[in-house]
Amino acid sequence: MQHLRGIGFLILSTLLIASALRAQSGGGTTMPEIILRPTIPAYYPGCSNEPEGSEEKANCSASKLMSYIGFNLQYPDEAREQKIEGVVVLSFMVSDSGKIERVRVLRDIGGGCGQEAQRIINEMPPWQPAIFKGKQVATQFTLPITFGLRAGMFDYVLHVGDLPDDQIYQKELIETLTTTDLRVTNPKGAEMVITEVILTIERGGNREQLVLRGNERPTEKQLKKFFKRKQGRLTIDANVVEDLDIRSVSKGYLLLN
């Protein structure tokens, strides 16, 4: 299997399921109550510096979740060979301790995509649990994940200065990234707000990442240390939020020394 980085995939927003549930298993064991509208929602980890219940924390959580999926999700060989594309929809519960439980595929597209999406959700780290009436509670989410093979199939474009789209020398890339803001445009040509930029360099099976918040520009020293004056395959992912959709728009380069 190959990683999804740089081949045009789209991760949609997590949406809270529209009704609270209380169920019992076949053996009669009472299942935990799922609170649909908690006072403070559950958050993906890594956003402890943002105010509780704030839009900033919600955006941070969504961005962290998208980064996790983008870095770890793989395109199944069977789906790639059969040119299978589409949306897999899953549901999962964040328990009152933050553990990920009850991961289910609600809609599959075949070719191993459902199993791969389920695997990556099952392996997520514990979340910050939701709070309701001052207590930690369980809550449930649905998550659509779109698998797409065609570059630019969603017509969201990442603009990296005037750089070519295939290979680039490190010196030219460093100059561009330190002096030019990255831009993402939607199918109508409107510019979108970038919440996070992830540079991923792959060499000989090893992979490293440099994460930048918003449209933060890296320093020349920072990039030289990251690139290490060695050739490799570089992917630049810009995470953006548009209405209720969370998208990752990518470009890939052969990075030359």
What residues have CB less than 8 Å from 126, skipping those under 6 apart?
45, 97, 98, 99, 100
- Beta-bridged to residue 233, according to DSSP, are 202, 254
Is the pLDDT score of 8 beyond 70? no
Residue 152 is assigned to a structural domain of this protein: no
Whole-angstrom CA distances from 7 to 31, 154, 191 are: 40, 11, 21
Compute CA 110 distance to the chain's CA centroid, rounded to the nearest angstrom.
21
Residue 178: per-residue pLDDT: 94
pLDDT digits (tens, 9 = 90+) for 142-194: 888 878 765 444 467 888 888 776 788 999 999 999 999 998 887 767 788 88
What is the arithmetic mean of pLDDT over 72-81? 85
Same domain, 113 and 163: no
* pLDDT category of residue 210 using cuts at 50, 70 and 90: very high
Same domain, 99 and 196: no
- What 151-156 contacts at long range (C-beta under 8 Å, 24+ apart), as own/partner pairs, is 151/7, 151/8, 152/8, 153/8, 153/85, 154/8, 154/10, 154/187, 154/247, 155/186, 155/187, 156/10, 156/184, 156/185, 156/186, 156/187, 156/192, 156/240, 156/247, 156/249
pLDDT digits (tens, 9 = 90+) for 84-125: 888 888 999 999 999 999 999 999 999 999 999 999 999 999
Same domain, 21 and 72: yes
Residue whose tokens read 């999962």: 92
Q: What is the CATH number of the domain that holds 247?
A: 2.60.40
Q: Which of 147, 166, 190 finishes a domain?
A: 147
Domain count, the chain: 2
126 or 51, which is more confident? 126
- Residue-level length of the chain: 257
